[in-house]
Amino acid sequence: MNRRSEWEAITASIRPQMEGRHEAREAVLKESRKLIQVCSKCIKHVHRRQLEEAESLLAEAKSMSASMRAASASHPEIRFAGYIQDAEKEMVEAAALLAIIQGTGLPSPDSLGIGLTSYLNGMGEAASECLRYALDEMRKGSMERAEELLQTMELIYDELTTFDFPDSLTGGLRRTCDALRAVIERTRSDLTMTQVQMGLMNELKRAGDGS
């Protein structure tokens, strides 16, 4: 076999593999975008307190995630691509937020079929997302519920900060924790301010009733 024939035979054997890899990538990329959209809708329904709809969307997201993992199973270089990690992180955020609001058990990496990096960062983002719900509770005067959410946010933050590993392993978890810390500080400040205002209003009301 001459050199040209040898090289053509090698590339001919490689081409189908690359084509299969490309097809898998395109399919997974498309699915990851859909997954992010579904998870975003799930989170919106949680904030709207439409929890049944949120549960339905989360179930759909889990099914999509499983299909995405199956499609990328034979291609490790795709399985750990950034767009897959981002999509999985969104699903963790949606699942964790729904669990926190419903008061049910937090999802685990195994229960979601999610990698550790996506899971840890998703949990951090779910804790940050609690701020919006906590503010709604404060506006309603449900201070005890808002306090519970703050405690959950702090609990998640405290544990996440113990994963002191290089960013290459944690996917930038340190940045996620820094952002969460700022959200916690704002939540605590808003909660304290609201409690003070409510206390003053009650004092004024009592003073008015006594006059």
Tokens found for residue 128: 């940050």
3-state secondary structure of 115: coil
Residue 102 lies in a domain: no
Q: What is the pLDDT of residue 69?
A: 82
Residue 5 lies in a domain: yes
Do the beta carbons of residue 51 and residue 101 sit within 8 Å? yes
Cα separations in angstroms, 57 against 41, 107, 109:
7, 16, 19
Residue 108 lies in a domain: no
Q: What is the pLDDT of residue 200?
A: 72
Taking alpha carbons only, the member of 126, 191, 189 closest to residue 153 is: 126
Do the beta carbons of residue 184 and residue 157 sit within 8 Å? yes
String of DSSP letters for 168-182: HHHTSHHHHHHHHHH
Write out the chain's pLDDT in tens, 211 residues.
688 888 989 999 999 989 888 888 888 888 899 999 999 999 999 999 999 999 999 999 999 998 888 877 777 777 666 778 889 999 999 999 999 999 999 999 999 998 899 999 999 999 999 999 999 999 888 999 999 999 999 999 999 999 999 988 899 999 999 999 999 999 999 999 888 777 777 666 766 666 5
The domain in which residue 174 lies consists of: 115-211
Residue 121 lies in a domain: yes
Q: How many domains does the chain have?
A: 2
Residue 51 lies in a domain: yes
Residues 211, 125, single domain; the answer is yes
Q: What is the pLDDT of residue 211?
A: 53
Helix (H) or strand (E) run with residue 126 in it: helix 116-140
